[in-house]
Amino acid sequence: MSTGPAGSVVPTAFPEVAKSMDIPFHKAYITVDEVAEVIDAIKSGWFTMGPKTVEFERRFSDFIFRDSAVSEDKRFSVSLNSATAALHLALKAIGLKAGDEVILPTNTFIATAEVVTYFGAVPVLCDIEEVTHNMDVSKIEGLITGRTRAIIPVHFGGQPCDMDEILDIAGRRMQTHDQKIHLIEDAAHALPSRYKGRMIGTIGDITCFSFYATKTLCTGEGGMAVTTNQEYAKKIRTNRLHGISKDVWNRYTLEGDWRYEVVDNGNKYNTTDLNSALGLAQLQKVLWMNDRRREIAELYTRAFEGTGIIPPTVMDDRETSWHLYVIKTDNRDELYEKLRADGIGASVHFIPVHKHPYYRETYGYNDADYPVANRVFGQSLSLPIFPGLTAGEAEYITERVRRYAG
């Protein structure tokens, strides 16, 4: 047994990775805490959305808004089965329509663009900054047209975008053209992250988190939409379960009632209490897991000093979740193969949206419009960074990367 975050014990049965030099790209940090919560959910006999989900939403709001000025009655977290679902319902909540345009970075997972296409709306791609790999805020204004309804900043790897700049751009548009541009943040990587001291989740109109298997809080599959706008929260809540007018998960219980009305053409995007049970246990240790990731990032960055390897840069006014640790090197493909042969899992984030055949052919993106994203894509490699990675494993990784990179 070893000691984990306060109040938890890590059973030695789990970190079998430590025994071999096969290091996966990611391994969820699961301890007896998660096991106990899930058993509790199973024993209750109620597996779909229920009391664990209600509790997870409440505690998630408490966590995101804990040092903000937002009053308790304006803190809304709506649990969903993925961040993709959260982004979809966020765009539905702001009333996105066919022909509207939404600006987002080309350096993102396809889900960010895909949800825009659900409406017959157009994903307008923005090139990225060389340093943060986030959307280049100096290029946003040039992409705005009379049809722009939203911007989706993606906090790449956990490092927040320059939100003040983005808020300014949207605000200026409101003043000069009376055109509201909504900010729907893709925070799939950004739990917990801060921009100028403010938690990600407290800034834009709606913020969407992911609890996918590799994310900084993992429930297997899951997501959360966070907002301070009651109307948006209500719409997302209604649409996550078929457009039904009230929370009907308890309609089969004695507290509930079978009567309900369908008031929108909704979706089946609710989560389950089994996933929420994992979420409750993971949330307790999310800051501790962030500390472990930061320690690994610091170890990596120290090891790459004085080499040709470019480590990630975190801007002074931001704090990252360290979901990803992305290095840049000119021999990325060779490095990836050599690490793989040595039992080290690595990955690439992301193949830019404009390079995917469906998107290129449907929207006619021009590769030459995204020079920075293209360069960054060719050089980037994401190294393993997860709370259970031991110092020995991290040192082995840096030794191999130094040996092969450049």
Q: What are the residues binding ligand PLP (CB under 6 A)? A: 82-84, 108-109, 111-112, 154, 186, 188-189, 210, 212, 223
What are the residue ranges of helices labelled H in 65-162? Answer: 83-93, 111-117
Q: Is the four-CA dihedral 214, 218, 220, 222 of positive or negative sign?
A: negative
| CB nearer ligand PLP, residue 163 or residue 405 | 163
Residue 83: CB minimum distance to ligand PLP, A: 3
Which residues participate in catalysis according to the annotation?
215
Query: Which amino acid type is present at position 15?
Result: P
Please state, in angstroms and rounded to a whole number, the distance separating the CA atoms of residues 129 and 134: 6
- Token pair, residue 241, equals 């379960």
- Token pair, residue 223, equals 């997501």
Residue 114: CB minimum distance to ligand PLP, A: 9
CB 375 within 8 A of CB 282: no
DSSP secondary structure of 185-214: EEETT-TT-EETTEETTSSSSEEEEE-BTT
Give the residue carrying structure tokens 């308790």.
Answer: 72
| CB nearer ligand PLP, residue 29 or residue 46 | 29
| CB nearer ligand PLP, residue 381 or residue 405 | 381
Query: Which amino acid type is present at position 141?
Result: E
| CB nearer ligand PLP, residue 269 or residue 365 | 269
- Token pair, residue 159, equals 């490092």
| CB nearer ligand PLP, residue 111 or residue 144 | 111
Nearest to 225 by CA among 255, 263, 267, 262: 267
Query: Which amino acid type is present at position 197?
Result: G
